[in-house]
Structures are given as C-alpha cells and as structure tokens.
Amino acid sequence: MTRLGSWIGKHLMLTLGILVLLYMYIPNFIVALMSFNDSSESRNLYQFQSFTWDNWLNPCEPQGMCESLRVSISIGLLSTLVATIIGTLAAFALVRHRFEGRSTMNLVLFLPMATPEIVMGSSLLALFVAAGFGGQLGFWTVLIAHIMFCISFVVVTVRSRLAGLDSNLEKAASDLYANEWQTFWRITFPLVFPGILAAALLSFSLSFDDFIITNLNSGTTVTFPMFVWGAAQRGVPMQVNVIGTLMFLLALGIVIGGELLSRRRAHGKASAL
Amino acid sequence: MASLQRVFGKNAAYLLIGPAAIWLAVFFLFPMLSLLTTSLSDPATGSPINGYTLTWRIGNYVEALGDYWPYMARSLMYAGIATLMCLVLGYVLAYAIAFKAGRWKTVMLVLVIAPFFTSFLVRTLSWKLILADNGFIVNTLQTLHILGEDGRLLATPFAVIMGLTYNFLPFTILPLYTSLEKIDPKLNEAAADLYASPFQRFTKVIWPLSLPGVVGGTLLTFIPATGDYINASLLGSPNTQMVGNKIQQLFTTSGDYPHAAALSVILMVIIVAMVMFYVRRAGTEELL
C-alpha cells in the first residue's frame, strides 16, 4: 500500500500535470492545423477541408487584416516602451526608497490588476467623453489605455527582480572604487535587466492581445483582435491562424533564445574563472 | 540611483515614482470618478458625444439592477465554477512543475505561458471548432449516450465555463507555482518520517503552505472571468450572456452611458466586497 502510495506520489502527479499542459495546447494545435486549411471550396469555416500552403504564401490577402496587424504592433511597441520606462522607475523608487505615500502607491498599483477590464475600459470611455474627446477616440486613446494597464505589471515584475538582488554586490563595487554611476550601469542594471526584459515582453503581449478595453476606446481604429472579432461574425479568414501560429513561434523563439544565451553566458563566465 | 539621491535629496523617490503615479491618477483613478458621475447622470439630457451632467440620479442603479440582475448572477456563477476548475487543474500542474519536473522545470514553466502568445480571440474561436455540433467530441459523447441525439456543447453554459477555465488557467497556475516552489521539500520528508500518509502530508503540510498562492491565483482568475464577455459571445448563446456583454452593449450599441456606468460600478462594488471578505477569511491580508 505504501509502495503504491509512493508510486502515485512520484509519477501520477507528473502524468496528470502533463495532461493539463496538453489540454492547454489543444487550441494552439487546432490554430496551426487550420492555418493549412483550404477554405475556398466550402462555406463552413469551422471544419478542416483540404491541405494548402496558400494561407502561408498570401498572409495579407484578407482585406484590412495586415493593416490591423500594423496598428496593433505600433501600439504594442509604443505602449511597451513607455510603460516599461515609467514602471521600472517606479519599481526602483518602491524597492530602494522609503517615502511618504509608499503604501498608497502600492495600493494604486495593485488596483488596475484587480479591476475587471470592462470596468477599466468603460471608466476611461466615461472620462474621454466627459473631457470632450468623445468624437476623437482612436489610436491615441487606445495607446493611453494600454500604457495604463501595462504599468502595474511592469512594476510587479521589475520589483520582484530588484528585491531579490544581493546588495552586497553593489557594496563590493563601491569598495573597489566604482562611483555610483559606474555601480549602477555595471552592476545593478545588468542584474535587473532580465526582469525589465520580461516586463517588456509581458507588456507587449498584454497590449497586442487586448480586446475589451480597446474595443470601448478605439473609435474607428481597428487593431488585430478587433479585426478578428469583426471577422468572427462573418467567418474568420484562415490567414488569422497563420498570424496566430507565427506569433506563437516568434514568442517561443525569443524565450528559448534568451534562455540559451543566458546559459551560454553563465557557462562562458564559469570557464573564464 | 544613489547619485540622484545626492542631487535631489529626499525628492529622488518622488521623481522616480512621479510618472507612474501621475499616469495612474489621471487615467485610472480619475476615470473611476468619471464613471461614478456618469452613473449618476440623467440619460435623457446627455449624449455620448457631448457628455453628461451630474444630476444625482440614483434611479440608474435601481433600473440597472432591476433589468440586468440575471446577467450579474450568471457572471458570478460561471466565473465561480470556472475558478474552481482552474484551481483543480492549475494545482495539479503547478505541483507537478514545482516538485516533480526536476530539470525540466524552466521548460514546463515556459510551456505554460507560451500558448498565450497566440491571440486570445483566435484561441477562443478554435474551441468553436473543437466543440462543434458535428465535431469529434460531440459525436463521441452522442455515441456513448452521454449527450442526446441532438444534444450539443456549443452555445451552452458548459461551453462558456469551459472557455473561461481554459483562458484564465495560467493566471491560477503562476501564483500557485510561486508559493509551492517556496515550500521546503524537507518539511514533506519530515512529515513522512513521522508516519503521515501522503493524504495527510498534503492536507497538513503542502496545502496550508500554498494558501497565499491559492488566494492569489483564484482572485486573478475570478476577477477577470467575472467581467469577461468574449467567451460568452463566441461560445455561448443569448441565454448565456454575462454582465460584460450587457455593459458593452449599453456602451457601444445603445449609447446608454449612465445605465452602463451604473452596471459597471455595481460589478466593481460586488467584486471588491467579495475580495475583501475572501481575503479576510483566508487570513492572507498581507497579499494586498
């Protein structure tokens, strides 16, 4: 009985865990499969018909899709840039300084993560309308909204990296006559950088994928998720699956590449010693 | 950063925190106020383009609650069930990664996050294909007589709850993993040395120590799931619409901002009240 118990403890949990992981990949598998679907023969867009390369060869064929992709990427990059800078500065303030209003600031940073998107989106819309911008919703109002909801996630990510930093390394640098500026750029920043990078990736994916807040504040501007939403009413073009698969492979490539690079670096440093 | 301290003295912290504080004050806190005043405005005298004037019209709340309470109840129920399912599935996976994955830990963690780079909407749409009436799953269930002859999965509450569970699962897994990872395996071994059964070791050692992750993970799942309307729109039917659907319709299609705002405020108040109660009961107040 105890042997059975320990066997279950050892392998069952891992097996179940892998099954859950597989469940999480069912949609990605379907999306990849449908990117090779030839939908020209049939009106039924929710069934695999026959294999084709066409969707991959002409990804921009559906009208408006690649324009919406461009809009999403520009908003994503701009909001990531601004939110990462603002958020990183705030994380430094919260970890390295004791100041009045610090606990209030922690609460204010937590709130956007605990507010349903529909409430945030509608409150921003209410503000824009009250301020007289009701007729000018578009690129800039979406950008403002995205920066707003990304900041909290940047602060949380960078803060945890910064809090786990060994302050002895900075002390050692100043013992070795590095000035404050050198210590920051040679020691602190490189050590915090992985956290900043993770925060930037997270921001971009949050912005790129956002629908609920964007939909309320975009006016006539169409982002990629909004294009998909609009197309879903008529029947989604198969090229949408190509973009979905490409994004997935790109992200996986960045993460794996980063991991390999940091391992090789660690290895290189170890052998240099 | 310390050089900033020297030049600006105590104000260095405020220079660093300033941009974030201002941005969130102007585009998060201030809009909440704006939402509140809109919810108390007369819908008849204003318009979405010209704005509304505050008339302290409490009636908006009475009407919003009277007309749309079934949507609210449905949202809370669907989100609640989905959160429980996420907790079960997420706990299994987080436990496997934290204690059983060995050197595959990082790889499995990356694999948890990776699917989410394929657009949320595209992935949700693919469930439409999986749960389709002539699809593999429905056919199998019909053959096994679990589902009736013309029984279906799509456009049912099951499909919506399943979609919510799938979409918010990583939000449960990551906090669970963080707190499970911190548990010293030696505690588990010590319990085993003292003749605790695997079940006892789980209920007396692992579970209590993972509570911060359980609270964090369920909150991060329940809150967005309650406000979500994408799963209800794409996988459900008019009978499975949630409060998010209604708020969105009132804002974009009907242009009835005061009632939409009132419904948003009600949703926010219910969520804040539930979160406070839950966090108190679970005794993990340090989380906030």
Q: What is the pLDDT of residue B3?
A: 56
Q: What percent of chain A has pLDDT above 70? A: 90
pLDDT at A135: 77
A243 shares its domain with A213: no
- In this structure, are B97 and B193 located in the same domain? yes
Q: How many CB pairs under 8 A join A and B?
A: 285
Q: Which residue has the tokens 């865990």?
A: A17
Task: Identify the DSSP state of B18.
Answer: H
Task: Give B232-266 pLDDT, tens digit per residue.
Answer: 999 998 889 999 999 988 888 888 889 999 999 99
User: B118: how many CB neighbours lie within 10 A of its CB?
Assistant: 24
The answer to whether residue A52 sits within a structural domain is no
3-state secondary structure of B47: strand
Average pLDDT score over residue span A107-123: 88
DSSP character string of A174-188: HHTT--HHHHIIIII
Distance from CA of B123 to the nearest CA of A (A): 5
What does pLDDT average to over chain B? 86
Per-residue pLDDT of A78-103, as tens digits, reads 999 999 999 999 998 888 888 888 88
Tell me, yes or no, whether B13 and B109 share the same domain.
no
Q: A189 and A266: one domain?
A: no
- Please report whether residue A200 resides in a domain: yes
Q: Are the Cβ atoms of B220 and A113 closer than 8 angstroms?
A: yes
The domain that holds A113 is classified in CATH as: 1.10.3720.10
pLDDT at B288: 42
Question: Which candidate, B282, B287, B281, B85, places its Cα nearest to that of B175?
Answer: B287
Q: Which pLDDT score is estimated for A267?
A: 67
Whether residues A109 and B24 touch (CB distance < 8 A) is answered with: yes
Domain's final residue, options B36, B56, B76: B56
| pLDDT at res. A7 | 63
What does the pLDDT look like over B157-181, one tens digit per residue? 999 999 999 999 998 998 899 889 8
pLDDT score at B185: 84
Instruction: Indicate the SS3 state at residue A154.
Output: helix
Task: Specify whether A87 is located in the same domain as A217.
Answer: yes
Q: Are residues A266 and A174 in the same domain?
A: no
Among B residues 27-66, those touching chain A with beta carbons less than 8 Å apart: 27-32, 34-35, 37-38, 48-52
pLDDT at residue A5, as a whole number: 65
- How many domains, in total, are found in chain A? 2
pLDDT for position A141? 93
Residue B8 has pLDDT above 70, yes or no: no
**Domain extent for B44:** 1-56
Q: Is residue A226 part of a domain?
A: no
Contacts of A65 in chain B (CB under 8 A): none
Q: Based on the fold, state whether residues B106 and B209 are members of the same structural domain.
A: yes
Which ipTM score applies to this complex? Answer: 0.84
The whole domain housing A6 covers 1-38+237-272
Using a CB-CB cut-off of 8 Å, the residues of chain B touching A232 are 121, 125, 234
Q: Which residues of B touch A9 (CB under 8 A)?
A: 198
